[in-house]
Structure formats: structure tokens, C-alpha cells
């Protein structure tokens, strides 16, 4: 390609590509080229590769460099520079940043101080421990070396019958005494007092030292439970939900509490209140409103104000105090809202009529309610005008009288939890005021609102336990309130006795299954009602005092006598059985069941169970239950003693026989199991001689033979072989000849396997006795032996020799019979036993 063609191609490319005009001379281009070359060579190949890599990823390196260079290097928490006061936005931003920085700095300082304080506390504690160790190591037996070291004299003389220290504190001991007295009245057949009323009086007595919040909780519970007693067959949950008496009780309690509050406010402002006249609700409300609305700004927005006294607060506080007559009187004097006045007067008449005649609640239709039309007109007026009324008290009065608009919070009027609860209870839907056109709040809906929707967080129940408890009780949720109170250790005793008191008057809902959780829900119960597992609550409370306060624990378990366990047994007996099994010893058995009667050793008198005459027949059932559990836990001796108490001699003999079978052959030793069983056997033999009992013949035969073998081995180990052999012969345990082997084996098979297992040791002992007797006869027969006789001996000597030989032959026959019996026994004896028997028999020949 020549220069002309190259020029044409360059022009063509320039025409196709629009490039920005560049006006540079050749010297400028050369200078730029040199600068680029120097910069590339100075940065090096690594920088060049980095620029190429970042450029391939879309990173503009020059702009990034400018951003990095523009960053401020000043300290992050450096105080900001002040700016001019005219710059409002900058000033506010500066104030905000300074506040954030100040909070961070203060937090850091607090953290440093807390760490330093904890470090010093740990250091001082460690120093204290080291000083205590040094002083303990330095102080010797004499006080003269260290006269300044204090010395405390501690008595080392212990009482003969030391009792464990009670784990009940003062409050719990007071409760336990009342429970014991209550059970005592029941045991004596007297009419029992109301336990809830009695415990409430106990809490209110000043000398007992109960906290004020605890007194208030007991008071509200006693007030809400002051209803017609329910029968034990009625379900407390369903009875509580269907009746309106609990709503009326809650309203009355809140109204009485508010009247006390108004009187308290008036007493603090007697000059302003100017209280006078008859001490009734009308005058009290007038004085209270005068004190409350003495400032002019409190009257802003209120309607019907006369002489600085607003009308609607007077009406509202009259309703808040539960006096419809006072509210009607204020409206009548003001001459406003005649329809509302008429409705209030009618409600007052209905209220008085109910108090006089106590009619049964029934649902009324619109045709049976003479004021249905008037209520409809007032509700229409409330919906159209009063929803936007500036007077909150007037709006609240209409809502309360008409029992409508339950979701309106009335924030200007409702200031406390009591006010909120009273307002919700006042507008509840009841059978007497049905309304199918306006949203109404039911009793169940209010309970769900308190328990489920708002819950413990809304009421700050963690810090205000008393308030949340009262709210639950006032809404009829006794079980949830008690369970909430039982979660904390300081209130658990109060919760347990509240549940007990309610259950005794048949007002506590309990589950049908005792294995349910502490708070459970039954499928048939209305939402959100729960049931409280009283048995589980009492067991949790009583478990820790079983060892130290056994009598008090039994008193609490006595309250569960009407409950049934899963296996159908009495819950009281089940709890006491578990207590005895876990802590059973001779002292515990004596404490619970008493001691044997001197005149009738089969009968036990005294003990804690004697405090419950109604449960006297169950004492023997309990002893049998405990005996069964103890035998399963291998505590056989205690189980036998409890079978004695229960009168279950058949089980006692079976268990005693199985134990004797294992130790009957052992030599006596002090403190051994055999020695203990020997004492038990002697007592059993004594009891069997005192009275004949109906026991299985097979069991009695086995026990009788084992008791005889026990005596046999006692004489055998003492070396009294003659008496031991007489016992064997008398009871025909071993054969005297080979002809008697089959009869002895057949007889032992009929008695049972227990005797068969003992026979190897019996045969060895019997063989040993025969061999000893054989050696004695052999040693007295002379040097010539038994069969040698000289012609010079007399006839008398020959007869003596013949009698000795005959006796030795008898002993050999008895030994032979024992080896034959060992061979014919149904059990397999050990080789050592067989070898020993055969060796002894051979030694006799």
C-alpha cells in the first residue's frame, strides 16, 4: 500500500467515526506520551496488572482514588465543630450527632466502671477467703497465744432424741397449723369452718406479719368466692361461666374500692371538698368532683358546667361508685337528657327488685323489655353524636348505661387498671340485655382479652404480681391466677393454700387426670378457662418437708383423700406410700402407724394415722401398698413388718420363707441378715401361737419347716449335735434308712422348691453329725476293734460289743440313706456336695 492509499483509508475512517476534536501540537503529544511512559514504568508491572484487573470489573480507579483522598482522617468521636446559629439544619444535625457521641462515651465509661467494680469485688472476696484460711491455720487450741481473736462457745451436748430442723418458715408454719386444725375438726365429726374465711382472717391479723399485697390478694379472693356454696357434684368451671353473680361481685368490689379512694382524696383536701350533709354517695361524689376539677383547665371540653361544677363527671363517678340513684338525682337536678334519666331510673328499679326477690335469670325478648325502644333510640344517638363528643364523661356514661361500644378505650376517663376492668365488666353482654345489632363483649371474651390478648407483659406481671393476680380473680379465672402466683417461691405458700381453700368449698376446677400438668385445658371447657391440678401442686409443695415435718406433710396429703390416682387408688394413700417408700425406716413406720398393742400384738395403736379416724380402715391398705413397693426395692425386712401391720400374713410368710432359704444354713454372726431374720421369725412364731390365721397350707408348711431348720443350724453351729439330730428326726426331714428315702423325697416335693434348695446344706450337716457320732462310737470300742472278742471275755462284754456294732451299722445305714436321697433329689446338687457326702460315707466303713 502506497502513501496515497493510506491517506484515503485514514480519511474514510475519520468520516465514519466522529471523534471529539483534539487540538494538540506534536510537542504536546510527545510530552503526554513521555508522561504516560514514566507513570507506567514507575508504578511497576504489579500496579499495571491491578489497574487492568479492576478495569475489567468496571471499577473506575481514578475516581476511587479521589474518593479515598477526600476521606477525613479525624477521630470518629472527636467533638464536632460549632456552626453558625443561623444554619438550623446544620445545628440540629450537630446536636443529634453530639447526643449520640455523648451516649456512646457514657456507655463506655459505665462499662469500664462496672468492670473495675467487679474486679475489686472479686479481689476482696479472694483476699477474705485467704485471710480466713490463714487465721484458721494459725489459731490453735489455746486462746492465750491470740488474745484478740474472738472465740465463740458452741455447746457440744446433743439431746438424746435429736429431731431434724423444720423446713417450714414462719408463714408456712402458720398455714400448716390452720390446715391441721381444719382436718382435726373434720376428724372429730364437727361442722368444719370455712377454710377460706379462716385463712383470710389469719392473713389480716397484724401480729402475723403478712405483707399488705398478700392481704389484698386474700381479700379479693374471699370476696369473689362469697357465693352460694356449690355441690361437690357440680362442675365449678361451668357453674362460674353460666352465672352472672361473679360479674356482679367483681363490679361491687371495684365500686367499693373506688369509694374508699374518693374518701381518701377528700380527706386530704377537706377545705376544698367542703364535705357535709348525709354521708352518702351523692355528697361524696359532689365533694370529689369539686376537688378534682378545682383547676379551670380541667373544665375545658366538658359540657353542662354549672358554677364550675361539671354535670357528667358527677353522673360518671356516681355510676363508678355503683349508685344509680345518685346518678339519677344529678341528672334530675340538671334537667338534661330526660330519656337517659328515665332509663337509669328503670334500671334502678330492676336492681332493687332483684335484691328483694332474687329471680332466676332468663333471656328476655324485645317484647318483654318495656325500655327496648328507648334503648334503641339512645344507642342511635350515641352512634351519631356522642362518638365525637368533646365531653369524655358524657360519652362514658352513655356507653355504661347502654352497655355498648366495648372496644372504646375512653382514655380520658379510664386511668387505672381498676377503671379499665370496671368499664369492661359494665358493658358485658348478659342474658338480660341481648343485642344482636351492635358488637357486644361476652364474659368469655373479657377473660380471653385479659389472659390471652393482653397477658402478663401488658400488666407488667413480673413486677406487679398482686395487680395481675387480682385482675385474673376479678374476671373469674381463679385457676390461672393461682398458677401464676405459684411460680415464685415467695408466693408459692399463699398460692397452695388459696387452691386448698377454694377446693374445700368446691370452687376450684381440677382435671380428671392427676397426671395432667399444673395448668391444663379440658376439651369441654369454654375458652380460655384452665384447670388447676391441685394434687400436683400439693405434692410439689409438700415433697420437701416429708422428712423434717412428716406430721404436717400427712395433714396436706389428707386433703387429697377424694382424689383418685391413675391406677384408681386413693391419692392420699398413694402420696403417703411414696413418702414411706422413699424415707422408710423403723422410726418412720412407728411415727406413721404407731406401736403394737400390748393386749393385741396384731393391732397397732398411735401414730399419725390415728389423727384421721375416717381413714382408720385405710391404714391396713396403706401398709400393704408400702410393703409391696418395699419388696420390689429389695427392702424385705421393712416389707415384712408392714405386711404384719396390714394383716397380710400370707405375703409376710412367703417373703420371710424366701429370705430364710438364702441364709438359714449360715453360721450366726452379730448384725448379719440371718440374725435379723431370726428375730423376725421368733416374733412371727409368737404371733402365730397367739392367734390362728387363715394362710395357705403350703405356705405355712414351708415356713414351719424353714423355722425348724433355722433352729437345727443354730444347734449344729453351736456343736450341740444331739438336739440338732432330734430336730431332724422330729420333722422327718432326712431318712433314717434307705427304705425311708422315697417317702422323704415325696414329702419334700409336696412342700415346695424352697426346701429343696436348702436340702444340700441340710444333707451335709446331717452327714457331718452322723460322722461325728460314728467317730465317737468308734473311739470308745477299744483297740481290738468292734468285731474282735476273746474267749476270756464275759457274756456282758459280748453284748456290749454287739450293741456298739449294731449302732455303728445304723449310722452307716443312715449315711447310705443320705447319699441315696442326694442322688434322687429333683434338683441338681454341686459336685463338691456329692463328693463330700460320698467321702464321709466311705470313712464310716
State how far the Cα of 580 lies from the Cα of 28, in Å rounded to an integer. Answer: 111
pLDDT of residue 512: 85
State mean pLDDT over 517-544: 90
Ordered DSSP codes for 454-478:
IHHHHTTTTT-HHHHHHHHHHTT-H
Closest to 708 (Cα-Cα) out of 676, 666, 677, 664: 664
Is the per-residue pLDDT at 83 higher than 50? yes
Q: For residues 845 and 826, is the Cβ–Cβ distance under 8 A?
A: no
State mean pLDDT over 454-481: 90
State mean pLDDT over 297-321: 84
State how far the Cα of 842 lies from the Cα of 771, in Å rounded to an integer. Answer: 10
Is the per-residue pLDDT at 784 higher than 70? no
Query: Could you tell me where the beta strands, DSSP code E, fall in 137-282?
Result: none
Largest CA distance in the chain: 179
Q: What are 506-527's pLDDT values in tens digits?
A: 889 999 888 889 999 888 888 8
Least confident segment among 185-194, 215-224, 354-363, 743-752: 354-363
Q: For residues 459 and 451, is the Cβ–Cβ distance under 8 A?
A: no
pLDDT level of residue 276 (50, 70, 90 thresholds): low
Closest to 483 (Cα-Cα) out of 467, 468, 495: 495
Ordered DSSP codes for 417-452:
HHHHHHHHHHTB--TTS--SSS--B-HHHHHHIIII
Angle between helix 753-779 and helix 697-718 axes, rounded to 10 deg? 30
Cα angle 610, 611, 612 (rounded to 5 degrees) comes to: 90
Q: For residues 366 and 434, is the Cβ–Cβ distance under 8 A?
A: no
Alpha-carbon distance values, 323 to 259, 285, 328, 344 (Å): 11, 10, 9, 10
- 3-state secondary structure string across 765-777: HHHHHHHHHHHHH
Query: Could you tell me where the beta strands, DSSP code E, fall in 60-112?
Result: none
pLDDT level of residue 757 (50, 70, 90 thresholds): confident
State how far the Cα of 509 lies from the Cα of 494, in Å rounded to an integer. Answer: 18
By three-state DSSP, how is residue 155 classified?
A: coil
pLDDT level of residue 460 (50, 70, 90 thresholds): confident
The cell for 245 is: 353473680
Is the per-residue pLDDT at 796 higher than 70? no
Neighbouring residues of 230: CB distance < 8 A, sequence distance ≥ 6: 236, 239, 505, 506, 507
pLDDT level of residue 65 (50, 70, 90 thresholds): confident
The cell for 64 is: 476511587
State how far the Cα of 554 lies from the Cα of 656, in Å rounded to an integer. Answer: 30
Higher pLDDT, 251 or 33: 251
The percent of residues in the chain predicted with pLDDT above 70, rounded, is 82
State how far the Cα of 467 lies from the Cα of 458, in Å rounded to an integer. Answer: 12
Strands 595-596 and 531-532: unpaired
Residue 580, exposed/middle/buried by CB under 10 A (0-12, 13-18, 19+)?
buried
Is the per-residue pLDDT at 77 higher than 70? no
Highest mean pLDDT among 75-84, 126-135, 534-543, 612-621: 534-543
pLDDT of residue 16: 67
The percent of residues in the chain predicted with pLDDT above 90, rounded, is 15
By three-state DSSP, how is residue 798 classified?
A: helix
pLDDT level of residue 177 (50, 70, 90 thresholds): very high
Report residue 323 CA to chain centroid gap: 44
DSSP H helices in 294-411: 311-320, 324-334, 338-357, 372-384, 392-402
Average pLDDT, the chain: 80
State how far the Cα of 357 lies from the Cα of 350, in Å rounded to an integer. Answer: 10
pLDDT level of residue 801 (50, 70, 90 thresholds): low
pLDDT of residue 143: 47
The cell for 468 is: 395481675
Higher pLDDT, 735 or 655: 655
State mean pLDDT over 407-425: 88
State mean pLDDT over 711-719: 87
pLDDT of residue 794: 43
Least confident segment among 50-64, 257-271, 365-379, 415-429: 365-379
Residue 578, exposed/middle/buried by CB under 10 A (0-12, 13-18, 19+)?
middle
Is the per-residue pLDDT at 18 higher than 60? no
pLDDT of residue 495: 94
Q: What are 655-693's pLDDT values in tens digits?
A: 888 888 888 888 888 878 888 888 888 888 877 776 666
State how far the Cα of 17 lies from the Cα of 12, in Å rounded to an integer. Answer: 9
Specify the residue for cell string 375438726: 185
State how far the Cα of 267 lies from the Cα of 275, in Å rounded to an integer. Answer: 9
The cell for 445 is: 371474651
pLDDT of residue 536: 92
Is the per-residue pLDDT at 362 higher than 80? no
Higher pLDDT, 192 or 532: 532
pLDDT of residue 686: 79
* Domain ranges for the chain: 264-353+371-416+431-438, 582-705, 732-783+798-843
pLDDT level of residue 482 (50, 70, 90 thresholds): very high
Q: What are 371-403's pLDDT values in tens digits?
A: 778 888 888 888 887 777 888 888 888 888 888
Closest to 580 (Cα-Cα) out of 625, 545, 626: 626
Least confident segment among 360-369, 468-477, 482-491, 492-501: 360-369
By three-state DSSP, how is residue 309 classified?
A: strand
Query: Could you tell me where the beta strands, DSSP code E, fall in 75-197?
Result: none
pLDDT level of residue 12 (50, 70, 90 thresholds): confident
At 520, give phi and psi (nearest 5°): -135, 170
Q: For residues 90 and 83, is the Cβ–Cβ distance under 8 A?
A: yes
pLDDT of residue 43: 52
Q: For residues 334 and 306, is the Cβ–Cβ distance under 8 A?
A: yes
Alpha-carbon distance values, 324 to 317, 626, 824 (Å): 10, 64, 104
pLDDT level of residue 368 (50, 70, 90 thresholds): very low
pLDDT of residue 158: 55
Element (H, E) at 751: helix 741-751
Q: What are 817-843's pLDDT values in tens digits?
A: 888 777 777 666 677 777 787 887 787
pLDDT of residue 480: 92
Closest to 153 (Cα-Cα) out of 162, 163, 143: 143
Is the per-residue pLDDT at 629 higher than 70? yes
Q: For residues 841 and 764, is the Cβ–Cβ distance under 8 A?
A: no
Amino acid at each position: 500500500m502506497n502513501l496515497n492509499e493510506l491517506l484515503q483509508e485514514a480519511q474514510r475512517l475519520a468520516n465514519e467515526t466522529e471523534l471529539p476534536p483534539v487540538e494538540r501540537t506534536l510537542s504536546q503529544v510527545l510530552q503526554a506520551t513521555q508522561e504516560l511512559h514514566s507513570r507506567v514504568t514507575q508504578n511497576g508491572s504489579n500496579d499495571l496488572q491491578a489497574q487492568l484487573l479492576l478495569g475489567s470489573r468496571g471499577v473506575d480507579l481514578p475516581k476511587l482514588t479521589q474518593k479515598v483522598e477526600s476521606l477525613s482522617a479525624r477521630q470518629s468521636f472527636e467533638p464536632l465543630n460549632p456552626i453558625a446559629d443561623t444554619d438550623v439544619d446544620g445545628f440540629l444535625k450537630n446536636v443529634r450527632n453530639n447526643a449520640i457521641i455523648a451516649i456512646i462515651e457514657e456507655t463506655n465509661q459505665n462499662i469500664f466502671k462496672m468492670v473495675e467494680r467487679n474486679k475489686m469485688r472479686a479481689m476482696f472476696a479472694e483476699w477474705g477467703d485467704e485471710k480466713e484460711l490463714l487465721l484458721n491455720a494459725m489459731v490453735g487450741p489455746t486462746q492465750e497465744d491470740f488474745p484478740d481473736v474472738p472465740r465463740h462457745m458452741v455447746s457440744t451436748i446433743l439431746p438424746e432424741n435429736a429431731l431434724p430442723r423444720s423446713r417450714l418458715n414462719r408463714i408456712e408454719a402458720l398455714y400448716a397449723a390452720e390446715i391441721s386444725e381444719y382436718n382435726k375438726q373434720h376428724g372429730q365429726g364437727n361442722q368444719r369452718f370455712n377454710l377460706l374465711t379462716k385463712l383470710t382472717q389469719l392473713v389480716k391479723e397484724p401480729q402475723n406479719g403478712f405483707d399488705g399485697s398478700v392481704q389484698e390478694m386474700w381479700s379479693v379472693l374471699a370476696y369473689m368466692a362469697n357465693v352460694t356454696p356449690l355441690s361437690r357434684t357440680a362442675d365449678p368451671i361451668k357453674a362460674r361461666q353460666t352465672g352472672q353473680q361473679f360479674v356482679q361481685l367483681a363490679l361491687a368490689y371495684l365500686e367499693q374500692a373506688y369509694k374508699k379512694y374518693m374518701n381518701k382524696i377528700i380527706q386530704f383536701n377537706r377545705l376544698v371538698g367542703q364535705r357535709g350533709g348525709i354521708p352518702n354517695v351523692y355528697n361524696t361524689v359532689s365533694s370529689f368532683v369539686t376537688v378534682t376539677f378545682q383547676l379551670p383547665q380541667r373544665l375545658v371540653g366538658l359540657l353542662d358546667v354549672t358554677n364550675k361544677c361539671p354535670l357528667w363527671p358527677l353522673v360518671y363517678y356516681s355510676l363508678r361508685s355503683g349508685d344509680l340513684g345518685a346518678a339519677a338525682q344529678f341528672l334530675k337536678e340538671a334537667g338534661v337528657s330526660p330519656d337517659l334519666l328515665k332509663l337509669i331510673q328503670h334500671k334502678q328499679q330492676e336492681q332493687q327488685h332483684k335484691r328483694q326477690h332474687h329471680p332466676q335469670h332468663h333471656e328476655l325478648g324485645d317484647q318483654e323489655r318495656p325500655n327496648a325502644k328507648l334503648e334503641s333510640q339512645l344507642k342511635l344517638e350515641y352512634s351519631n353524636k356522642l362518638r365525637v363528643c368533646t365531653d369524655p364523661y358524657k360519652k362514658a356514661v352513655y356507653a355504661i348505661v347502654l352497655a355498648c361500644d366495648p372496644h372504646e378505650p375512653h382514655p380520658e376517663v379510664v386511668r387505672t387498671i381498676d377503671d379499665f376492668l370496671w368499664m369492661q365488666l359494665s358493658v358485658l353482654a348478659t342474658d338480660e340485655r341481648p343485642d344482636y345489632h351492635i358488637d357486644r363483649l361476652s364474659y368469655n371474651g373479657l377473660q380471653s382479652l385479659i389472659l390471652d390478648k393482653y397477658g402478663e407483659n401488658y400488666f407488667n406481671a413480673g413486677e406487679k404480681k398482686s395487680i395481675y393476680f387480682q385482675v385474673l380473680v376479678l374476671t373469674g379465672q381463679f385457676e390461672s391466677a393461682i398458677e401464676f402466683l405459684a411460680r415464685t417461691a415467695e408466693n408459692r405458700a399463699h398460692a397452695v393454700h388459696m387452691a386448698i381453700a377454694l377446693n374445700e368449698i368446691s370452687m376450684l376446677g381440677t382435671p380428671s387426670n392427676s397426671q395432667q400438668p399444673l395448668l391444663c385445658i379440658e376439651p369441654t371447657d369454654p375458652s380460655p378457662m384452665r384447670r388447676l391440678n391441685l394434687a400436683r401442686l400439693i405434692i410439689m409443695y409438700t415433697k420437701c418437708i416429708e422428712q423434717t415435718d412428716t406430721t404436717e406433710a400427712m395433714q396436706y396429703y389428707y386433703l387429697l383423700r377424694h382424689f383418685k390416682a391413675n391406677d384408681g387408688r386413693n391419692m392420699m394413700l398413694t402420696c403417703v406410700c411414696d413418702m414411706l417408700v422413699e424415707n422408710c425406716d423403723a422410726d418412720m413406720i412407728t411415727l406413721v402407724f404407731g406401736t403394737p398393742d400390748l393386749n393385741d400384738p396384731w393391732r397397732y395403736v398411735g401414730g399419725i394415722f390415728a389423727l384421721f379416724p375416717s381413714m382408720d380402715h385405710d391404714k391396713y391398705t396403706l401398709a400393704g401398698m408400702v410393703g409391696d413397693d418395699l419388696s420390689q426395692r429389695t427392702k424385705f425386712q421393712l416389707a415384712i413388718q408392714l405386711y404384719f401391720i396390714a394383716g397380710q400374713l400370707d405375703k409376710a410368710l412367703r417373703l420371710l420363707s424366701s429370705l430364710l432359704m438364702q441364709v438359714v444354713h449360715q453360721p450366726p454372726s452379730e448384725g448379719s441378715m440371718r440374725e435379723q431374720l431370726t428375730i423376725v421369725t421368733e416374733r412371727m412364731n409368737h404371733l402365730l401361737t397367739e392367734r390362728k390365721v387363715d394362710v395357705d397350707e403350703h405356705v405355712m408348711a414351708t415356713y414351719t419347716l424353714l423355722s425348724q431348720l433355722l433352729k437345727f443350724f443354730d444347734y449344729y453351729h453351736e456343736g450341740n449335735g444331739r438336739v440338732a439330730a432330734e430336730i431332724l428326726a422330729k420333722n422327718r426331714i432326712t431318712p433314717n434308712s434307705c427304705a425311708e428315702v422315697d417317702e422323704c423325697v415325696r414329702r419334700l416335693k409336696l412342700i415346695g422348691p424352697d426346701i429343696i434348695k436348702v436340702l444340700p446344706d441340710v444333707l451335709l450337716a446331717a452327714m457331718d453329725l452322723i460322722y461325728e457320732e460314728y467317730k465317737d462310737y468308734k473311739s470308745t470300742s477299744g483297740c481290738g476293734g468292734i468285731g474282735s472278742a476273746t474267749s476270756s471275755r464275759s457274756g456282758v462284754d459280748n453284748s456290749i460289743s454287739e450293741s456298739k456294732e449294731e449302732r455303728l451299722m445304723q449310722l452307716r445305714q443312715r449315711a447310705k440313706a443320705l447319699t441315696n436321697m442326694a442322688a434322687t433329689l429333683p434338683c441338681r446338687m454341686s459336685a463338691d456336695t456329692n463328693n463330700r457326702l460320698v467321702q464321709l460315707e466311705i470313712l464310716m466303713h
